[in-house]
Copies of this chain bind each other. A is one copy, B any other.
Amino acid sequence: MELRDCLPFWKDLSDADRARLEAAAVLCRAQKGQIIHNGTADCVGLLVLKSGQLRGFSLSEDGRQVTLYRLFSRDVCLMSAYCMLNSLQFDISVQAEQDTEFWRILSPVYKELMGRSAPVANFTTELIASRFSDVMWLLDQILYKHLDSRLAAFLVEESRLTGSDTLALTHDAIAQHLGSAREVITRMLRYFSAEGLVKAGRGSLRLLDEARLEQIAGDSLR
């Protein structure tokens, strides 16, 4: 996979701009756990993932974190180039969750290109809209649904009831238990799975971290 395969606007660029972009892109490697971008301490540039996994998270003054979104192969991380946009006034940190290979495109080069190319600018708009949507989903869960704690409580209770950490439950069945929709449960389980709390199998679910599930369940645990 090459840089061009990850940038849908590549076909709209002139040869000169392609060369400019490739010259500004450095292939980097980060080890699992490594912090790649640290709030407003740096503006490292646009990150284009070749392989691996990154997470964007917000960090409170007292060190607490919450994962806002995850990025995989072919995804582009814009928050590490926040200085390109005047209106992006918040800090997000980015960490490698797996050994990760990525191209880093220097912010000034991308910004200059975005300034005069509608396809690049529109790609950037969609990028931000996509991360904004991730955060709105999270906000919605936190504000209204408390589905995370309800789902965690349900899984812990089922595990205690059956005496097993592997639950033979479909997403449909769980949705019925919680008065929710299958798609919503699937999305939340994907989130739990990415957090290392559960592992999904064929029609079954294994709890990997019951202690943290209990913590998330909180008051929802009967």
Q: Which of B62, B88, B118, B131 contacts A121 (CB 8 A)?
A: B118
Instruction: Count the copies.
Output: 2
Q: Which of A140-148, A169-177, A190-198, A205-213 contacts B (4 or more CB under 8 A)?
A: A140-148
- Is A186 among interface residues, defined by CB-CB distance under 8 A? no
Q: Which of A22-30, A47-55, A122-130, A152-160 contacts B (4 or more CB under 8 A)?
A: A122-130
**Nearest chain-B residue to A62 (Cβ)?**
B144
Give the distance to chain B from A172, nearest Cβ to Cβ, in Å: 19
Residues of B within 8 A of A87 (CB): 126-127, 129-130, 133
Q: Which of B116, B128, B136, B142 contacts A118 (CB 8 A)?
A: B116
- Total interface residues on A, CB under 8 Å, equals 40
Q: Which of B60, B124, B133, B138 contacts A125 (CB 8 A)?
A: B124
- Is A58 among interface residues, defined by CB-CB distance under 8 A? yes
- Distance in angstroms between the alpha carbons of A60 and B144 in the assembled complex: 6
- Is A139 among interface residues, defined by CB-CB distance under 8 A? yes
Q: Which of B64, B131, B143 contacts A60 (CB 8 A)?
A: B143
Q: Which of B62, B64, B133, B136 contacts A58 (CB 8 A)?
A: B136
